[in-house]
Amino acid sequence: MRRGSERVELLAPAGSQEALYAAVAGGADAVYLGGKSFGARAFAKNFDEAALSRAVAYCHLHGVRLYVTVNTLVYERELPDWLAYCRSLYAMGVDALIVTDLGGIALLREHLPEMELHASTQMGLHNSEGVAAAAALGLTRAVVARECSLADLRSLVENSPLEIEAFLHGALCVCHSGQCLFSSLVGGRSGNRGECAQPCRLPYGSGAYPLSLKDLSLARHIPALIDSGVASLKIEGRMKSPDYVYGVTSIYRRLIDERRGATDAEERALAALFSRGGFTDGYFTGRLGGMIGVRSEAQKAESRFLQSREFLPARVPVRAEASLSLGRPAGLTLIAPHKRVTVYGDTPAPALSAPPSAAAVKERLCKMGSTFLSLSEADLSLSMEEGIHLSVAQLNALRRRAAEAMESTGRELPSARPIAPPRTEKRRPMTTAVFYEPSVLYSLTAEERAAFDIRFVPLLYYKDLPGENGVALPPVIMEREMPAVREALGRAAEKGARYALISNLSHFALCREAGLKPIGDFRMNAYNPYAAAYLADMGAEYTLASLELTAPRAASVGGVLAYGRAPLMLTERCFVRENASCAACGSFAFTDRRGMRFPVMREYEHRNLIFNSLPTYMGDKGAELARFGLTHRHFIFSTESAAEIRAILAAYRAGAPLAGQVRRIGVSEAQMYGAAEKTPLPPARRAPAGPLPKGAPRTNQNQKTYRKKYR
């Protein structure tokens, strides 16, 4: 869908009230921000509900749209509060919600059908089939993957039923959004819950920073972006300062208005505000070299030097018309650039003594106090009958009523209804496995292979092997890759594939075309039974619960990981080739500062999967899983040899523990995140002064120690 007008939206971030003022002053067409709950930047200052309401009023007075992020994954027990919070945002006049959770989206469409919803980049939309699935969910805009090229964007715009929003400037995650479990499974801080510890910004191996990408800047490509038809261009940065927000927004405002690329001087100005060793446009242009960047001390000092401006709310000048006469209620009309309101007050009475002068009435009506409005006496047209009286209190009440009406953005809410219980289905017990090195599968005996109802082989390798009953679809299939994937999937079906392990909304259409039954992977990010029910409605035979869930929470969703190294990251770039050579494919690994080894393997084309240093293992906890009704057990085999797989299966059948350290799925977060790796992953920078993540100490002294540890 091409945008409805020639003007492309410039969308700016606001992590604080002052940053909001900076974004509007810089020329943003729209602003996105987060509240105190359910946003993917838990450590930004964010806005409470009173501040959110004022933010909506401020933006709308300036002709700026406001979107609120509610784009974390949501536990079942949180959904009533999540829905109530979304209702309050609708009531206060928020223009759109940015959403991720499939179960939450389904509830919003049922309970708040008029609310405009934008698919967060966390939903992993990168091709037209995925965008079409988002449209079927009732969304109106897709924030597509940062990894999309210009050609991908053009194709998406032409084939999409939704508006397309693309990232323009700011930090790049090395992992495809919505696919990163590194911070969560290693450090106990979930990026999907807004608490990312940024492990990609840490050193690995000999002290290099191989996962730290430069910031994105498409300042040189503004004409091409406008011509592509994207509806909105998004600046990343809700954790950034107001100076950064103003500086970056104002430069892009100028470039878009003048329909040109940045000059060298403008690029330098952007870099001075914030960069990591410069900028990259690698994904956009398809040139993926030279994207690694680390922020130097000199760059930090330069940015600190620039942060000196104070941003205050800019009052909106209004015109006014007032009418005061006997026998009629006093009337006051306020006229702003984007709004006109008329209110009425008390009826003037005959003056018993000296009536108020026109000058005194004008002075009283022009006092706009703490509002976002300004009114000069020259802009107030007063029609006042002689010999009337209206008290100071009555004039003040009239003025306040008019100002409140001008700043009001509220909507009438549909009646609240209780959330219907999630629909659950009785499913047969199932054991599945994905083999990332398929050759080992054929080193197993027929009996060992038969231990798995479905054996998934990655599509990348399926064509070279005897027919297997399951094929694992690539988590990412860019628009340009769809024809080849369709062809390969059709051949897999002809060779004997009956099931497909899917990890993206776009995969449902591919499965229907190939006649395959979809099994939802944990990458579908099913966090609650409402998400699982939606996936079942779409045709999923079964869905694996998110690997971030405890056993009790997973039980209401679907299957659970019984063994395997979890894929922590899916990268667009081939780090094996960049850091070693193609000869190291299958044996390369990153080693962190504690000596933990994270294997790296090839995915479709030359994307990479970075696996956890420790496997999850629940073979000796079978009774515990059964107690929660977790009868779909899933295995991941990545670096294991055939002999190791035999030993794992033998231990699993015997209910015996494995030798060595493993990760567990617990009945609480403490068990999941504390049992395997004793030390949480340190974040890349000092823990912020805001709310501490779950599990942090609560006494003052322990909090000081905790923060010091995370410098």
DSSP string, 622-681: HHHHHHTT--EEEEEESS--HHHHHHHHHHHHHTPPPSS--B---SSHHHHHHSS-SSPP
In a domain, 185, yes or no: no
The CA distance from 668 to 695, in Å, is: 11
| 300 plus 334 within the same structural domain | no
The CA distance from 128 to 150, in Å, is: 14
User: Which three-class secondary structure state does DSSP give residue 26?
Assistant: helix
Tell me what pLDDT residue 684 has: 36
* pTM for this prediction: 0.92
| 535 plus 558 within the same structural domain | yes
User: Which residues, 6+ apart, have CB-to-CB distance to 199 below 8 Å?
Assistant: 182, 183, 186, 187, 211, 681, 684
Looking only at the bridges linking them, the beta strands covering 141-143 and 117-119 are parallel
In a domain, 363, yes or no: yes
Residue numbers in the chain where pLDDT is lower than 70? 39-45, 307, 669-711
In a domain, 547, yes or no: yes
Q: What angle do CA 400, 402, 406 make, to 5 degrees?
A: 115
Tell me, rounded to whole angstroms, the distance of Cα 135 from its chain centroid: 17
CA dihedral over 247, 685, 289, 277, signed as positive or negative: positive
User: Which three-class secondary structure state does DSSP give residue 36?
Assistant: coil
CATH code at position 461: 3.20.20
In a domain, 364, yes or no: yes
User: Which three-class secondary structure state does DSSP give residue 406?
Assistant: helix
The CA distance from 117 to 133, in Å, is: 14
Tell me what pLDDT residue 307 has: 64
Query: Which two structure tokens, joined as six digits, stand for 563?
Result: 């063994």
Tell me what pLDDT residue 40 has: 52
| 692 plus 577 within the same structural domain | no
User: Which residues, 6+ apart, have CB-to-CB distance to 524 below 8 Å?
Assistant: 102, 502, 503, 504, 531, 535, 540, 543, 544
In a domain, 191, yes or no: no
| 295 plus 331 within the same structural domain | no
In a domain, 186, yes or no: no
The CA distance from 243 to 100, in Å, is: 29
Name the strands in the sheet holding 616-617, side by side, starting at the edge strand that comes first in the sequence: 542-543, 517-520, 499-502, 470-472, 454-458, 430-435, 632-637, 560-564, 616-617
Torsion of CA 429, 434, 438, 444, to 10 degrees: -30
**Phi, psi at residue 206, to the nearest 5°?**
-85, 15
pLDDT tens digits, 371-429: 999 999 999 999 999 999 999 999 999 999 999 999 999 899 999 999 999 887 778 89
User: Which residues, 6+ apart, have CB-to-CB distance to 171 below 8 Å?
Assistant: 215, 216, 236, 237
Looking only at the bridges linking them, the beta strands covering 349-350 and 279-280 are unpaired
Tell me what pLDDT residue 586 has: 85
Closest CA to 14 of 5, 3, 26: 26
Tell me what pLDDT residue 194 has: 87
Are 19 and 243 in contact by the 8 Å Cβ rule? The answer is no
The CA distance from 298 to 377, in Å, is: 51
Rounded alpha-carbon distances, angstroms, from residue 253 to 229, 410, 659: 17, 29, 59
| 300 plus 337 within the same structural domain | no
Query: Which two structure tokens, joined as six digits, stand for 522?
Result: 């944990």
- Helical segments of 506-573, H only: 507-514, 529-538, 551-555
Closest CA to 622 of 563, 695, 541: 563
Query: Which two structure tokens, joined as six digits, stand for 25?
Result: 């002053």
CA atoms within 13 A on the CB side of 11: 25
| 320 plus 444 within the same structural domain | no
User: Which three-class secondary structure state does DSSP give residue 619?
Assistant: helix
> Which of residues 275, 306, 337 is at a domain's end?
306
- The domain total for the chain is 4
| Secondary structure element (H or E) that encloses residue 470, with its range | strand 470-472
Rounded alpha-carbon distances, angstroms, from residue 218 to 252, 288, 502, 540, 633: 10, 14, 32, 38, 45
Looking only at the bridges linking them, the beta strands covering 517-520 and 597-602 are unpaired
User: Which three-class secondary structure state does DSSP give residue 480?
Assistant: helix
Tell me what pLDDT residue 700 has: 37
> Which of residues 250, 277, 306 is at a domain's end?
306
User: Which residues, 6+ apart, have CB-to-CB distance to 700 below 8 Å?
Assistant: none
Tell me what pLDDT residue 523 has: 96
Radius of gyration of the chain (CA): 29
| 711 plus 662 within the same structural domain | no
User: Which residues, 6+ apart, have CB-to-CB distance to 42 below 8 Å?
Assistant: 193, 194, 195, 690, 691, 693
| Residue range of the domain that includes 123 | 9-172+213-306
Are 18 and 24 in contact by the 8 Å Cβ rule? The answer is no
| 565 plus 652 within the same structural domain | yes
The CA distance from 410 to 277, in Å, is: 45
In a domain, 83, yes or no: yes
In a domain, 197, yes or no: no
CA dihedral over 14, 19, 21, 24, signed as positive or negative: negative
CA dihedral over 43, 49, 55, 60, signed as positive or negative: positive
| 349 plus 302 within the same structural domain | no
Query: Which two structure tokens, joined as six digits, stand for 276?
Result: 């990591």
CATH code at position 99: 3.20.20.70
| 272 plus 369 within the same structural domain | no
Q: Length of the chain, please?
A: 711
The CA distance from 229 to 7, in Å, is: 10
> Which of residues 372, 407, 442 is at a domain's end?
407
pLDDT tens digits, 235-283: 999 999 999 999 999 999 999 999 999 999 999 999 999 999 999 999 9
| 396 plus 437 within the same structural domain | no
Burial class (CB in 10 A: 0-12, 13-18, 19+), 505: buried
| 294 plus 394 within the same structural domain | no
